[in-house]
Chains A and B, each alone.
Chain A
Amino acid sequence: MLWGALGLSIVYGFMFASELERDHMFFLSGIGTSGFLLMIPFISINPLFLHGNYGIQGLKGHAVNSLEFFFSKAINRASIFFVKAGAYLMLSLLPLLVIWAYSYAKPDIRIELPYNTQEHRETTKQFYLSHFTGAYVQKDEQDKEGNKFWVVLPKGQVTCAVFTLVWAFIGTLLFQVIGLGFPPGMRWVCLPTFFAFMLLSNVWGSSLKTPSHYEVGLAWIDQHTPLTLLGLGLLTILSQLYCCRRFVNTEITS
């Protein structure tokens, strides 16, 4: 099962990475189509780790009872947590890291400017040029009216990949924190929360006007990539410490 989940993650990672080669607005159309596509394998991985290793109260059967075995031995509970959580996070990160690494193979992205109105077109162009490092206008492939313009973001795919990593990993951490932090009777909210989060993010990110929230987010990450990754690192450390504390205080009541 573990290998299956790992395989699934990698397949999803490569599927998504192959999408990076496309030259259209797909990635800029909404968070749902980027970050949350990747959450599918995480959903399949999460229950595996939650049930098998974190010892959620109220679950009957082998997982909790073998956890009781480990908890009654002279084994450091925090070590158990960090070994298991480390494996879990690595599995979750793997497809995201594949995408990130793959994005360097073809880092630039070409975005076709909208041509519904001149004003919208200009606003969009100015937004890309001012908010993305090294962005420039490309005028090839003009139509007969000569108004087909592209904005090229030299690091666009990398930024998208980092955004995907950050957003999907935040979702993974959130899912983990809910799994361990919520009282046993409330843990069912895990899945509905996840899907609500995904749905709302789609709506939030898929604004038709330029810049969309998603594009603003991308631009911010483009300009503050190290800071974003630092924040993600801090969030990971804090969430893991919290979850570890919850895990160490798990009571074997069943």
Chain B
Amino acid sequence: MQTSKNDYVIETDRVSRSFKGTIALNNFSLRVPRGSIYGFLGRNGSGKTTAIKILAGLIKPSSGSARVLGRIPFEFTTDDRQKIGYVSEKQILPVSFSVKALIAFCAQFYPQWDHDLVRRLMERFRIDPRRKISALSQGTQRQVAFILALAQKPELLILDEPASTLDVVARREFLDEILALVRQDGPTVFISSHILSDIERVADHIGILVDGTLKISEPLDELSETVKQIRFHSLTRPVGQISVPGAFRTVRSENEVLVTARIKDESVIAQAARDADAQYEIIDLTLEDIFVEISRR
């Protein structure tokens, strides 16, 4: 199917960003389809937060171009920001506000503010609106930030490690809300997380960032179907030289070679096995396995 330009909510083209000579992002090119839940993965220090801050319009790229909802992020107007909900990795809310006052404050800036949703989520997360932000735990502050981002009815929701400080129950409630929201209003959700089970549960697209470069960006089911581990082995002698096109990682031991690769045509694998005079078997990988294999240096 031909994809028109407007079908992408986020588009970046060779975006790079460095801080005092340290490259955080390197030729980062990304496309996020409208209406998708895009799980953005990467190890600590891989550049996820830098990428997200560029997309949220909080920092400028050193080079390359980024467009979010068709606009340059650092030049967002208040109208543009009404369409984008953002929860930061280290979200610290203004501590002098009470929850109620902060909600009332934020509501002024969003014409589509959903008061019913706020009420419902406050009850669901059991947050007392009279309490001061400074008196809330980190997890509860994160939930308040999440409510504020959802209540504005965004077209795009950017969540940077949103569940990292939540307990298991709160995390499950939080993910349920994301899924309910997407079913109801269909915003695009761009979510980064270390908790891969969460991402696997909600995301339909996956991006994996390694050392500031996007190595993988595709639908989750396509990723699961095509990225496999191939075990080449021989009972009688060491396995010969193995060459698999598109291999992410190769681990060699005495009688076997493990290759993680994208398999588009199994005959290529069969040929590689014949060339090395070995047998092979294809092993399915979980998202966590794929992430570990691709992210390992």
Contacts and interface: CB of A to CB of B under 8 A. Distances in A.
Main secondary structure of the interface of B (DSSP, over half): loop
A69 B86 CA distance: 9
B123 to A, nearest CB: 24
B86 A66 contact: no
B195 interface: no
Interface in B37-63: 53, 56-60
A62 interface: yes
A69 B56 CA distance: 11
B79 interface: yes
B94 A66 contact: yes
Nearest to B58: A252
A69 B53 contact: no
Interface in B101-152: 106, 109-110, 145, 148, 152
A62 B53 CA distance: 18
B78 A251 contact: no
B31 interface: no
A253 B59 contact: yes
A73 B106 contact: yes
Contact of B95 (A66, A70, A252): A66
B110 A71 contact: no
Contacts of A74: 78-79, 81-82, 109-110, 152
A66 B92 contact: yes
Interface in A67-83: 68-76
A69 B19 contact: no
Interface residues of B, number: 26
A66 B144 CA distance: 14
Given A68-B58, A72-B86, A62 B106 contact: no
A65 interface: yes
Given A69-B88, A73-B106, A251 B94 contact: no
B109 A252 contact: no
A73 B81 contact: yes
Contacts of B59: 251-253
Contact of A69 (B78, B79, B94, B110): B94
A71 B91 CA distance: 12
Interface string B21-32: 000000000000
Q: How large is the interface on A (under 10, 10 to 19, 20 to 34, 35 or more residues)?
A: 10 to 19
B76 to A, nearest CB: 9
A68 B59 CA distance: 10
A71 B93 contact: no
Contact of A62 (B84, B88, B92, B148): B92
Contacts of B90: 65
Contacts of B84: 72
B265 to A, nearest CB: 45
Contacts of B92: 62, 65-66, 68-69
Contacts of B95: 62, 66
Contact of B19 (A66, A68, A252, A253): A253
Nearest to A57: B59
A70 B53 CA distance: 14
Contacts of B88: 65, 68-69, 72
A252 B53 contact: yes
Contacts of A65: 88, 90-92
A75 B58 contact: no
Contacts of B57: 71-72
A76 B78 contact: yes
Contacts of B81: 72-75
Contacts of A75: 78, 81, 109
A1 to B, nearest CB: 11
Contact of B109 (A62, A71, A73): A73
A71 B90 CA distance: 14
Interface in B237-266: none
A251 B58 contact: yes
Contacts of B53: 252-253
Contacts of A76: 78
A253 B61 CA distance: 12
A201 B28 CA distance: 53
5 contacts: A65-B91, A66-B92, A68-B92, A69-B93, A252-B53
Which 8 pairs between the two chains have the least Cβ-Cβ distance? A65-B92, A74-B81, A252-B58, A72-B86, A251-B59, A74-B109, A74-B78, A74-B82
Given A62-B95, A66-B94, A74-B82, 8 more contacts: A68-B58, A68-B92, A69-B92, A71-B58, A72-B58, A74-B109, A74-B110, A75-B109
